[in-house]
């Protein structure tokens, strides 16, 4: 039973090795993966210990059996598992890439047309609404300048007179 637990620990370790080989990532993620690996192994070990020895005592042959199971797994099945996993991931990547390219070929032209149409609609809206509104605002601004020019001059004269009085 402990040898099987060791083989499971080796299998979990190989899963992390396959992930590292198939996906490139920074060192910080490698450290986090290592921590996650040891947490998983710890939980597996305690679960195994609780169900086989009812959590009463940790015997030396438990640890020896786990290490022996890992050693047997690494010497026999590890290379095969890694090679098959890497081939499966390579095939999965190719299939996903193919499906994504097909998806882009199917959905790409309608999106390009919508983008073109969107540009034309924006151009139309700008020409139809914003340019006349801008002209109207310009006219309003000129009208306000003309209508307020005389009262502002009068106000400035009054301010000058008031300043002269207080001198």
Domain spans, the chain: 2-111
37-41, 100-104, 137-141, 145-149: least confidently modelled range: 145-149
SS3 of 49-89: HHHHCCCCCCCHHHHHHHHHHHHHHHHHCHHHHHHHHHHHH
Higher-confidence residue of 14 and 145: namely: 14
Mean pLDDT confidence for 8-33: 87
Asked whether residue 84 carries a pLDDT value surpassing 90, the answer given is yes
User: What integer pLDDT is reported at residue 92 of this predicted model?
Assistant: 92
Mean pLDDT over each residue of the chain, to the nearest integer: 82
Asked whether residue 9 carries a pLDDT value surpassing 80, the answer given is yes
**Which of 10, 4, 90, 18 lies closest to 48 in space, CA to CA?**
4
User: What integer pLDDT is reported at residue 56 of this predicted model?
Assistant: 67
pLDDT, tens only, 144-155: 776 677 777 777
């Amino acid at each position: 039973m402990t040898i099987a637990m060791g083989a499971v620990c080796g299998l979990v370790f190989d899963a992390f090795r396959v992930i590292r080989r198939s996906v490139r990532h920074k060192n910080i993620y490698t450290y986090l993966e290592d921590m996650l690996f040891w947490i998983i192994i710890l939980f597996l070990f305690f679960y195994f210990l609780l169900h086989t020895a009812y959590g009463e005592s940790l015997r030396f042959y438990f640890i020896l059996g786990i290490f022996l199971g890992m050693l047997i797994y690494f010497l026999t099945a590890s290379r095969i598992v890694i090679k098959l996993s890497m081939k499966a991931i390579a095939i999965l990547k190719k299939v996903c890439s193919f499906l994504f390219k097909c998806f882009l070929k199917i959905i790409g032209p309608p999106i390009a047309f919508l983008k073109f149409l969107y540009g034309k609609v924006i151009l139309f809206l700008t020409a139809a609404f914003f340019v006349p509104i801008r002209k109207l605002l310009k006219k309003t601004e000129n009208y306000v300048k003309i209508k307020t020019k005389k009262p502002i001059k009068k106000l400035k004269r009054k301010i000058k007179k008031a300043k002269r009085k207080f001198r």
